[in-house]
Amino acid sequence: MSEPYKLEWKGIIRSIQPRTRVWRYLTDNRTHYHIGYNIFLEGECEEGLNAFSVAISARQQQKGMFRIGDIVQGTAWTKKYPQREFADYYKAGEIRVIERNIQAMDSICPWTGCIPSMEVYEERGARMLSMSLWKGKCFKCYYAAMANVEIQWDFDRNIRKYRFESFCYGPKTCKKYKPGKFRAVPYKNRDSALDQGWLDEICTGNRGWDD
């Protein structure tokens, strides 16, 4: 594994989504931690990527008020643990807006307007989202998210496995929403448990059908 290094990047923002970490243990627990945002860009970086994502903090988003269509530039670091971090780059710094998008954003699905705060995502809770929808119709939506998932594979020895899963914080009435396939949660020396969606009701139980 190569050591992380700092690089420069520049691009136009195509999507901004919450950056979350999800801890899974069988199907008894699915805990979501909201740790910032992932911005998805088209542009250029020192590694030669034309499309890439950068993890930023909640404070950086609050200060910069970034939105889809903004042209921004900054620095970031390559990943130290690729299996744990979905964004291509993290520890972003020196971010500034080169050109601000002044066009009106959509206030219906996919929602692309002012990005909600971490507190809003925390309060709303998330449901599982089809991976194909995350890649397609829901990609621009600020209610969509690709989470860094830690699976507690062996509780006694604190051994964890890692993967990425897509989630949705949007209204339950959204006609585009589909949860996708059931998600297997493995554990040492036993068959995988299946998250069939009932945890979604627990995670979003504090809001109504229209919210």
Report how far residue 150's alpha carbon sits from residue 137's, in angstroms, rounded to the nearest whole number. Answer: 26
Structural tokens at position 4? 């992380």
Which pLDDT score is estimated for 128?
98
What H or E segment, with its residue span, contains residue 51?
A: strand 51-56
Helix ranges (DSSP H) in 15-139: 58-64, 118-124, 131-135
Q: Record the pTM.
A: 0.94
**Taken in order 25, 31, 36, 40, is the CA torsion positive or negative?**
positive
CA 80: distance to chain centroid? 18
Of 76, 75, 74, 56, the closest CA to residue 15 belongs to 56
Choose among 7, 38, 8: nearest CA to 20.
Answer: 38
57 close to 84: Cβ distance less than 8 angstroms: no
Q: What is the mean pLDDT of each run of 10 residues along the chain (211 residues)?
A: 90 98 91 97 96 98 96 97 96 96 80 94 97 97 98 94 97 95 94 91 89 80
pLDDT of residue 105: 75
Query: In angstroms, rounded to a whole number, what is the distance separating the alpha carbons of residues 152 and 83?
Result: 15
Quote the DSSP letter at residue 134.
H
46 in Cβ contact with 59 (< 8 Å):
no
CA-to-CA distance for 181 and 185, rounded, in angstroms?
A: 13
Query: Residue ranges per domain, the chain?
Result: 6-203
> Residue 167 has what pLDDT?
98
Q: What is the pLDDT of residue 57?
A: 98
- 76 within 8 A of 57, measured Cβ to Cβ: no
Do 19 and 36 meet the contact criterion of CB atoms below 8 Å apart?
Answer: yes
Query: Per-residue DSSP letters for 77-91?
Result: EE-S-TTT--SSEEE
Written as six digits, the tokens of 77 are 């670091």
Q: What is the pLDDT of residue 1?
A: 58
**H-type helices in 98-154, by residue range?**
118-124, 131-135
How high is the pLDDT of residue 208? 83
